[in-house]
Amino acid sequence: MDEVQVKKPAQMPSTILFREDADKGFENVRQESLALPILKLLQNSSGEAQKRNQNYVEDAEPGMLLNTVTKKLYAGEQGINVIPCYYRMEYQEWAEFGTGSGRPEQMYPDNSDILSKTTKDGGKDRLQNGNYILTVHQNYVLIVGDNGSAETALISMSSSQGKVSRKWQSLQMSQTMTDATGTFTPASYSHMYNISTVLNSGKGNQWYGYAVKTAGPVASASLYQRAKDFNASLSNK
């Protein structure tokens, strides 16, 4: 009777080989070649938090934070620690819900005069074509893990959350350090901040918003350099 040969599973390459080839294949990949994850604050209306919605993300609940690329969820009450690396404000032109593409129709820089072409309409800055202008605060950050890991992300704040972003900018600019030559204002990426979520209410509605507090200075030289490099990649655009 012929013996049945049992095929042994192929062995994984040694980690030594992986180490020898570290970063190979990414020689021409730059920061702008990557999809920058957006850190999304889930609301009751978010499809990602509705079990029967096609966009549902397992275990997602309103008030959580969602990485739109990796689909990783963060508890809103506990929050996450981030390093703010770059900030810019922009104006986005949107069509009314259900009538447009589901994304901005146009985007304008912060020095644009687009607001002068709008009229107030129920709290919105309305253009003659029926679309409205939204002022958006774009906060580019590193999300810092408990193990010291870091990943890039974008936190967009608009409408009522614009006030939170402005307070965050003021908080960053209020940080000071002192050396042998005196006191100075360090870079925005010199400190970490905890971003959590809170339930807001007003005019009969409820929604989740952001809360920001200082988490302390960046203690790792490698993490500081990573944040500095991320800032440089965005500043040079």
- Note the pLDDT of residue 221: 95
Q: Which residue has the tokens 């072409």?
A: 117
Is residue 164 scored above 90 in pLDDT?
yes
Q: What is the pLDDT of residues 120-150, one digit of tens each?
A: 998 899 999 999 999 999 999 999 998 889 9
Is residue 98 scored above 80 in pLDDT?
no
Domain borders along the chain are 34-176+184-235
Is residue 163 scored above 90 in pLDDT?
yes
Q: Give the predicted TM-score (pTM) of the model.
A: 0.82
Q: What are phi and psi of 129, to 5 degrees?
A: -80, 0
30-39, 85-94, 161-170 — which is least confidently predicted? 30-39
Q: What is the pLDDT of residues 203-217, one digit of tens each?
A: 888 999 999 999 999
Is residue 224 scored above 70 in pLDDT?
yes
| CA–CA separation, 62 and 48 (whole Å) | 9
Between 30 and 103, residue with greater pLDDT: 103
